[in-house]
Amino acid sequence: MSSYPFVAPGTVGFLVIAIGLSTLTSGSVIPAALRGGPVAPEQGLYDAKDKVTILTVNNFNDTVLHQNRSLLVEFYNTFCGHCQRYAPRYKALAERLYPWRETLLVAAIDCNAFENTGICRDYEIFAYPTLRYFSPGFMCKEGSYGQEVKAHVELDELASNMAQRLAAENGTDSLPNFPNLHSVGEIDEKTLFNGLDSNKKFVILAYEPENSTLGVESALQFHLWPDVQVRRVNDLNVANKFQIDGIRYKIATVDRQGNVVPYGVAEDTAAAYAATIESFLEAQHFKPRLTKTPTTEDSIAQVTDKDSGRAAIINEVLRNKHFVYQSDLEMAIRQMLFNELPKAHEIHGEQLLALQRMLAVLQRYHPLGPQGNEVIRRINEYVLNTNESLKGADFQSEVEHLNKTFGPIFSSNHFVGCVASQHNKRGYTCSLWTLFHYLTVQAARRDVNNDPLEVLTAIHGYVKYFFGCTHCSEHFQVSAPMKGK
């Protein structure tokens, strides 16, 4: 099949596989919005409507490194089912922590995007979604890639986790964007204002019960309000001096004249504390100051797929449900070579063997033309000549070099049969399983290898060690175990 010609970039090529019959022909025209040029950027799981700062290779270092505030980053993979299910929770977290944004920025980077491959490899991302916390002044160096944060916990627990980390920074003197997160100690009403600018009309004290972060979260929640400073107090003896008894009254306001007014709170939750404080601020007609958050407009490639063009392709595919499209096979190979395999930090042992097996199968049965055949052959030789380990970055450099020298090896840059009517559905996962099916059919037809499990072993190894959806990979291994391989 590797001798089949390329399909012209302006056409939809389709490969029909049915009962051992394989023919390649050309079909209807791809709409202009879906053809030509480099791979079109796919929209990730977050957009400008969300409170999540979108990171790419273009703004990652400027946003993460050497900052005077902290950062929470989700490394995700667009086609990962876990990531898709997690996205609403992460959006909710970003919404909840948005008032903290000068102290903690909530961000995300899509490791499925080709341009972000190096970032995700450098930060040793092995599973999706991965949450990392970056302290103020963070510098990336070997062995230091941010602090792991448990993603799959309740929203309250995750917010409390962030509050604890921020309180532990204890850098209020050197970090201008940090509120004062130290607990109030032995102090009287008037000395509460020592060191504060004249704009501060009130200090609001929030009692923090044992084993909670309610005071810290309150201080972070109202850090952007210029007329007040919220401080936490966890010593009940100190709190009593401000008419806080820890039972009925848990919040108190103090003005510059030393006047104290206690407030009751409906329940011991961050939302209840915030509601009580907001009620006081509204009564005083106070407003938060406006802030500028990092923009993502310049760094997010805008998806230009036309609805009409996508609809035309979907209609074409629905009329020919049994066709396997050349475009999808090529997109699967492209994603494997330029994104998933290069993301591995270092390939060795069983992982290297799995790569060698996959490349051997691709060399025998791939659907590419003569140029693609040459590139795949040379990539295979390069990996076979590797000693005990191979760096993902070196593999990426070699693939890019070979593609530039002998390519381009792909005639298509968009999904066709695997296009979806809904964003983030089908796409790469559909094309990958289509490619696997195609390889097994070609192996059966050609019968050039004595190992009947040749393709299945290669598929199993690839999914186990390289497929970007961790949950999918684990499920596949349980559902299709390969003993002795």
Residue type, 459: I
The domain total for the chain is: 3
Final residue belonging to a domain, choices 169, 204, 229: 169
Q: Tell me which residue has tokens 């490349």.
A: 359
Is the CB of residue 274 less than 8 Å from the CB of residue 223?
A: no
Task: Specify if 474 maps to a domain.
Answer: yes
Task: Answer with the one of 251, 283, 315 that is the final residue of a domain.
Answer: 283
64 and 154 co-located in one domain: yes
Pair (467, 319) in one structural domain: yes
Same domain, 218 and 326: no
CB 152 within 8 A of CB 85: no
Name the helix (H) or strand (E) containing 130: strand 130-134
Q: State the amino acid at position 361 in one-letter form.
A: V
Nearest to 249 by CA among 228, 230, 260, 264: 264
Q: Global pTM?
A: 0.79
- Dihedral sign of CA atoms 328, 330, 333, 336 in order: negative
| Co-location of 266 and 391 in the same domain | no
How do residues 190-202 score in pLDDT, each as one tens digit?
A: 788 988 989 999 9
- Between CA 115 and CA 112 the distance in angstroms is 9
**Same domain as 147, residue 16:** no
Assigned domain for 47 exists: no
> pLDDT digit of tens for each residue in the chain (485 aa)?
333 333 333 333 334 433 233 333 333 333 333 333 344 445 689 988 899 999 999 999 999 999 999 999 999 999 888 899 999 999 999 999 999 999 999 999 999 998 999 999 999 998 899 999 999 999 988 878 999 999 999 999 999 999 999 999 875 556 777 899 999 988 777 788 988 989 999 999 999 999 999 999 999 999 999 999 999 999 999 999 999 999 999 999 999 999 999 999 999 999 999 999 999 999 999 999 887 665 444 444 444 444 555 566 666 666 666 788 888 899 999 999 998 999 988 999 999 999 999 999 999 999 988 898 999 999 999 999 987 899 999 999 999 999 999 878 887 777 888 876 666 667 888 888 899 989 998 988 887 777 778 889 999 999 998 988 777 777 777 776 766 55
Q: Which domain-ending residue is among 135, 169, 203? A: 169
| Residue carrying structure tokens 């909710």 | 92
Task: Examine residue 99 and state whether it is found in any structural domain, yes or no.
Answer: yes
CATH number of the domain within which 100 lies: 3.40.30.10
List beta partners, residue 28: none
Please report whether residue 45 resides in a domain: no
| Pick from 80, 160, 159, 81: nearest CA to 120 | 80
Q: Are residues 30 and 58 part of one domain?
A: no
The one-letter amino acid code at 39 reads V
Q: How far is CA 388 from the centre of its chain?
A: 31
Measured CA to CA, the distance from residue 66 to residue 175 in angstroms comes to 12
Three-class DSSP labels, 283-349: HCCCCCCCCCCCCCCCCCCCCCCCHHHHHHHHHHHHHCCCEEEHHHHHHHHHHHHHHHCCCCCEEEH
**Residue count of the chain:** 485
Which of 72, 32, 23, 26 minimizes the C-alpha distance to 52? 72
Distance CA(398)–CA(401), nearest Å, equals 5
For residues 32 and 60, state if they share a domain.
Answer: no
How far apart, in whole angstroms, are the C-alpha atoms of residue 224 and residue 293? 13
Structural domain contains residue 177:
no
CB within 8 A of 381, min separation 6: which ones? none
Residues 227 and 359 in one domain: no
Q: Range of 206's domain?
A: 190-283
Q: What is the CATH number of the domain that holds 15?
A: 1.20.120.1960
Residue 131 lies in a domain: yes
Write out the H or E segment, with its range, that includes residue 25: strand 21-29
Phi-psi region of 19 (alpha: psi -120 to 50; beta: other; left: phi over 0): left
Residues paired with residue 229 on neighbouring β-strands, in sequence order: 203
Q: How far is CA 246 from CA 65, 110, 186, 262, 277, in A?
A: 41, 45, 17, 11, 16
Q: Are residues 138 and 227 in the same domain?
A: no
25 phi, psi to nearest 5 deg: -150, 175
Same domain for 100 and 243?
no
Burial of 484 (0-12, 13-18, 19+ CB in 10 A): exposed
- Identify the burial level of 197 via C-beta atoms within 10 angstroms of its C-beta, where 0-12 means exposed, 13-18 middle and 19 or more buried: exposed
Instruction: Convert the pLDDT of each residue in 324-380 to its tens digit.
Output: 888 889 999 999 999 899 998 899 999 999 999 999 999 999 998 889 899 999 999
Q: Do 10 and 31 contact (CB within 8 A), yes or no?
A: no
Tell me, yes or no, whether 242 and 341 share the same domain: no
Cis peptide before 408 (omega within 30 of 0): yes
User: 139 and 207: one domain?
Assistant: no
